[in-house]
Structure 1
Amino acid sequence: MSKLTGEVAQFVFDLSLPPALGPEDFIVADSNREAAGWIARWPGWPAGVLALHGAPGAGKSHLLGIWAQRSGALRLAGGALAAADPAEVAAVGAVALDDADRVAGDAAAERALFHLHNLLKEAGGFLLLAARQPPARWPVALPDLASRLKAAPAVGLGEPDDALLAQVLAKLFADRQLAVGPEIVQAMLARMERSFAEARRLVAEIDAASLAQGRSITLPLVRTVLAERHGD
C-alpha cells in the first residue's frame, strides 16, 4: 500500500511477474562474457569447483540457475548450509551455492562447506559458488577451507556498459509486462547510476509511479521520477 499525495489515498499493488531467468533470457556482454563462457564449458572445467563473483544484480544467480538446470545440481543458499547434511547434499553430484560468502564466520557452515567440497571432489562432482567477493576475500576462519577456496578458479562479472544496461532496462520492464520505447531507456541512461541494482530500483519506482497516478509510462513521467530522485 502506498499513501499518495493529494486528497485521495489509493492502493497500489505490485503486479509484476517473477523475472525471466531462462538461458535465453541471459544477456551476454563484455562484462559477463567470461563467466558465461565458463558455464557453457561445463563439464569441461579444469577443477570441480568454480566461483562467480560480482555486484548484486550482475547476473550471478541467473548463471547459477542456468547451470543448475543444465547439470541437475541441487541449489542452496549459503545461509542454509549449516543445517544441511554434507553427505546428502554431495550425493546429488552437483551443487549450486548462492550467497556462498554467507558461510564465512559461521563455524557450522564453514565445516559443512569444507566437507561438501571434499566429498564432491572425491566423487568427481561439481560445486558452483556465487558471491559478491571472490572466495580469497571471504573472512573464513577454518584454515583448510580457506586454502581450498583460494585455490578455486574465480571469475568476476563486471558492471554494465550503456549497451548492456539498455538491454537490461528493457528486460526489467518486460518482466513486469511493460513495453517502453527507446526514448524512455535513453532518458534513464542519461541520469542513472551505472549499476544493475540501480536499474532494478529505478524500473520499480517508475512502475509504481505509473500505477499510483493511473498513467502509462511516458517520457514526462520518467523525467518526473528522475527529477524527484535527484532533488531537481
Structure 2
Amino acid sequence: MRPEQLPLDLPVRNAMNAAGFVVSDSNRDAVAWLDRWPDWPNGILAVYGPPGCGKTHLAHVWQARSTARFLEPSALEHLPLGENLILDGIRLPEEHLFHLINHVRAQQTTLLILDREPPARWAVRLPDLASRLASVPAVAVLPPDDTLLAAVLAKHFVDRQVEVAPEVIAYLVKQIERSFVAAETMARRLDREAMARRAPITIRLARDLLSGEDS
C-alpha cells in the first residue's frame, strides 16, 4: 500500500438519539420497561446484555426523556440531589453502591443500571445490599436478530458517512458473527479498506475482507 493510500482515522459521529434506535424482538422488552418510567419498583431498573448490544444507546434515549445524568465514580462523594442517574457498566465498591441505592430511594428519583449481568447475580458480601439488588427488576437485551443486525450495520455506516447498498448489508448479516461488536468492527474495517482502495463498499470488497484475500 502506497503512503498516499493510507486511510485516516476520521472522527465518527455516533447517532445516539431515538431516531437512530431500532426496536426488534431482541430489545423490545427493555424498551417496554423504559417506557414504564417512572413507574419502576423502588425507582431502579437494570438493563443487561453483551457488550455493544445497544444498552448505552437505550440509556441515551431514556436520558432525553428523564434528563438523567451518567454517573462517574468521582461524583459518588457528592451525589446530585433530585436527579435521575445512569450507572453504565461501572461496578462500584459495595459500600458506595449501597449508599447510591439508598440515596435514590431517599430522593425519590430513579436509577438505570447497565451491565453485562443482572444485579441479582453480582457477587456481593453485604447482606443488605444483596437483598436490594435481588429486588431490582432486570431486563435483558438479547443478541440481535437479522433485522436488528442489519439496522446496526447500516447505522455504523451512516455514522461514518458512508453509503452502502442494501444488498451489501444483507450479505454481511449472513456472514459476520451475530454480535454488535462484530458489526461495528466490520463497518470500521470496510470503511478503511474502501478508503485505501479508493473504491466503494461492495459485496466483492466484503468477501475479500472476510476471506483474507487482497484483490
State TM-score, norm by structure 2.
Answer: 0.91
Q: Which has the higher contact order (CA 8 A, sep 6+)?
A: 2
Alignment partner, residue 84 of structure 2: 94
Tell whether the 8 Å contact from 1:84 to 1:112 is kept in structure 2 after alignment: no
- Tell me how far 1:15 sits from its aligned partner: 2.0
CA-to-aligned-CA distance 1:17-38 (integer Å, 9 cap, x gap): 2210001211000000010111
RMSD of aligned Cα (Å): 1.7
State TM-score, norm by structure 1.
Answer: 0.85
Mark the runs of 5 or more structure 1 residues left unpaired by the alignment.
Answer: 104-108
- Tell me how far 1:138 sits from its aligned partner: 1.7
CA-to-aligned-CA distance 1:36-75 (integer Å, 9 cap, x gap): 1111221122331000000111111011112222112121
* SS in structure 1 of the partner of residue 70 of structure 2: strand
Alignment partner, residue 22 of structure 2: 27
Identify which of 76, 85, 91 aligns with 2:76.
Answer: 85
Alignment partner, residue 153 of structure 1: 137
**Superposed counterparts of 1:183-222, under 5 Å:** 183-222=167-206
Indicate the percent of aligned positions where both proteins have the same amino acid.
43
Q: Distance in 2 between matches of 1:144 and 1:211?
A: 55
Tell whether the 8 Å contact from 2:82 to 2:107 is kept in structure 1 after alignment: no
Q: Which stretch of structure 1 is more off in the superposition, 42-51 or 22-31? A: 42-51
Q: Distance in 1 between matches of 2:191 and 2:146?
A: 21
Q: How many residues align?
A: 212
Q: Which stretch of structure 1 is more off in the superposition, 168-177 or 140-149? A: 140-149
Q: Which stretch of structure 1 is more off in the superposition, 186-195 or 134-143? A: 134-143
Identify which of 46, 55, 58 aligns with 1:60.
Answer: 55
1:51 equivalent to 2:46? Answer: yes
Q: Distance in 2 between matches of 1:32 and 1:23?
A: 14
Mark the runs of 5 or more structure 2 residues left unpaired by the alignment.
Answer: none
Q: Give the residue type in structure 2 aligned to 1:141.
A: R
Alignment partner, residue 14 of structure 1: 9
- Tell me how far 1:118 sits from its aligned partner: 0.5
**Superposed counterparts of 1:33-44, under 5 Å:** 33-44=28-39
CA-to-aligned-CA distance 1:108-153 (integer Å, 9 cap, x gap): x321221111021122111110001111222223332222111100
Alignment partner, residue 69 of structure 2: 74
